[in-house]
Amino acid sequence: MKNFLKMLARSQANFVHLARVAIFIVMVWIGGLKAFQYEADGIVPFVANSPLMSFFYTKKAPEYNQYKNPEGKTVQKNIDWHRANGTYIFSYGLGAVIIIIGIITLMGIWNAKLGVIGGLLTFGMSVVTLSFLITTPEVYVPNLGGDFPTPQYGFPYLSGAGRLVIKDVIMMAAGLICASDSARRLLKRY
């Protein structure tokens, strides 16, 4: 057991690099999906309800409820609404930003300055994403009239969208770990 613990302790730097790789994979995958209609449509409730981001859209919340495309289905009137809303243009830009953050974070393996920047950007992006737990009604289970044995809706009952958002707590922590590791490496030079 002691040898295993020593191996874990000696591997910490490698595990921090693994966290950078993990952030990169998630950011490139999620950012890349922002180029697709279903993903762009899916982020509308988050953006439209956010005081930090709603100005990117031309339509106000909750109008989007009338124009939701189920995943895998295309309804032309809904797509027309999303085009007029700026949904797709915003999603392309957001996707590019997310991919860039992932790349910068990954570059922290080789460049400590970029590692600090990437880690802090990952942290900042996660804080914005976690703010959706406050601003987006869709992150909690809606009241659909169930009452046995007690109603299970609203806070703390996370919907699928809420479960997606809460995972950013991990990204937030990983971003700070990566930034901290890079800062430690930078300070060794001084």
Asked if residue 3 is part of any domain, the answer here is no
**Average pLDDT over every residue of 141-148:** 79
Sign of the dihedral through C-alpha 161, 29, 118, 184 = positive
Residue 129 pLDDT > 70, yes or no? yes
Residues 50-108 pLDDT 10s? 999 999 999 999 999 999 988 788 899 999 999 999 999 999 999 999 999 999 999 99
Q: Give residue for tokens 């890349």.
A: 32
Structural domain of residue 141, as residue ranges? Answer: 13-187
Query: Are residues 118 and 108 in contact, defined by beta-carbon separation less than 8 angstroms?
Result: yes
Q: Which residue, 61, 182, 187, is CA-closest to 117?
A: 182
- If one counts every other C-beta atom within 10 angstroms of the C-beta of residue 145, the result is 7
Residue 162 pLDDT > 90, yes or no? yes
Residues 1-31 pLDDT 10s? 999 999 999 999 999 999 999 999 999 999 9
Angle at 158 between CA 171 and CA 46, to 5 degrees: 65
pLDDT recorded at residue 147: 67
Q: Write the CA distances from 97 to 25, 102, 136, 141, 166, integer angstroms.
A: 14, 9, 22, 30, 20
Residue 149 pLDDT > 80, yes or no? no
pLDDT recorded at residue 69: 86
Asked if residue 7 is part of any domain, the answer here is no
Q: Which pairs from 69-78 meet CB under 8 Å and 24+ separation?
A: 69/37, 69/38, 69/41, 71/38, 71/42, 72/38, 74/37, 78/41
Asked if residue 1 is part of any domain, the answer here is no
Beta bridge partners of 158: 140
Helices (H) and strands (E) in the chain, counts: 10, 0
Query: Are residues 121 and 173 in contact, defined by beta-carbon separation less than 8 angstroms?
Result: no
Asked if residue 5 is part of any domain, the answer here is no
pTM over 0.75: yes
Asked if residue 6 is part of any domain, the answer here is no
**Average pLDDT over every residue of 146-173:** 89
Of 171 and 145, the one with more pLDDT: 171
Asked if residue 2 is part of any domain, the answer here is no
* 6, amino acid identity: K
Q: Which residue, 90, 3, 2, 104, is CA-closest to 39?
A: 90
Asked if residue 81 is part of any domain, the answer here is yes
Domain count for the chain, please give it. 1
